[in-house]
Amino acid sequence: MAATTFPAVAVAARRPFSRTLALYAKETKYELLKNTRIPVYAISTVAFPVMFYVLFGIVLGSGNPANRNENATYMLATMGCFGVIAVALFGFGVSLAMERGQGWLQVKRASPMPVSAYFLGKLCSAVAFSTVIMLLLLAIGFAFGSVRMPIATAAKLVGILVAGSIPFCAMGMAIGYFAKPNSAPGLVNLIYLPMSFCSGLWIPLFMLPHGLQVLAKVLPPYHLSQLALNAVGMVNNPTPAWGHVEALIAFTLLFLGLAAWGYWRDEGKTYG
């Protein structure tokens, strides 16, 4: 019956593969452009970790020349974590919450855009920002903190931290599906700052009270920072790295599950 009530127009051509590639590339390019042109985003994600690294990693450590480079190397790993987490939570979480809550995501979903392109664009943008932050921190550490490590080690550190931002992209996605657009930035800060402190990203964990050291083990940044510290040889009693990877995978699945729940819950309301 349906076939007789609509005109026999040829079904629109499928997108050729080259155009699909171009689509994903454009989504990523414009997500990056959009973010780099927002001063608040560029400043809070890039400038803060750099500033904190200079303060905690370089200036604070300079008083004691004996362990100066040790301090700068340690903070390179933990401030690197701090940086990539901000990129993931703001670039993914806040931006999703805003675009969803203000109806923009709905405009995109009314088009034939593959939903995967939207999220992959955000992921790639986060990866690019994370890489830039890590390269900046490395440059500062090498230039002013007497950090010395083989190129391979530095590359490993960058690789771990950039890949390690994926669980936090998932966390951002979960927040993005539950937070309202206006409260999202505040909410992310409220989660991100205490979580970073309690995971030992600002002050090494062994200098924190015992209670916090126990608490840290259930926080995702702790596990990422342990992997990063391990990569630069800064862990004294190394637990097997595999355990931290497992923990991060578990957190990723948990947050993706939460995001899926939020997506489902959302369908009935804002359909974002």
Residue tagged 């355990």 (tokens): 243
Q: Write down the least CB distance from residue 162 to another protein, Å.
A: 24
Measure the CA–CA gap between 85 and 124, rounded to whole angstroms. 14
Residues lying near another protein in the complex (CB under 8 A): 2-3, 5-7, 9, 11-15, 19, 22-23, 26-27, 30, 33-34, 37-38, 98-99, 101-104, 106-107, 109-113, 267-269, 271
The nearer residue to another protein, 18 or 237, going by C-beta atoms, is 18
Nearer to another protein, 14 or 210 (CB): 14
C-beta closer to another protein: residue 63 or 268: 268
Distance (Å, whole) CA 123 – CA 117: 10
Beta carbon of residue 231, minimum distance to another protein (angstroms, whole number):
35
Q: Give the span between the Cα atoms of 47 and 67, in whole angstroms.
A: 26
Query: Taking the complex as a whole, how short is the minimal distance between the CB of residue 198 and another protein, in angstroms?
Result: 34
Q: Work out how close the CB of 23 gets to another protein at its nearest, in angstroms, rounded to a whole number.
A: 5
Nearer to another protein, 13 or 66 (CB): 13
Nearer to another protein, 246 or 267 (CB): 267
78 close to 49: Cβ distance less than 8 angstroms: no
* Closest by Cα among 76, 235, 52 to 145: 76
DSSP 105-160: HHHHHTTT--HHHHHHHHHHHHHHHHHHHHHHHHHHHHHHS-----HHHHHHHHHH
- Shortest distance, CB of residue 16 to another protein, whole angstroms? 8
Q: Which is nearer to another protein, 12 or 151 (CB)?
A: 12
CA distance 88 to 56: 22
Q: How far apart are CA 264 and CA 123, in angstroms?
A: 21
Smallest distance from another protein to CB 127, Å: 19
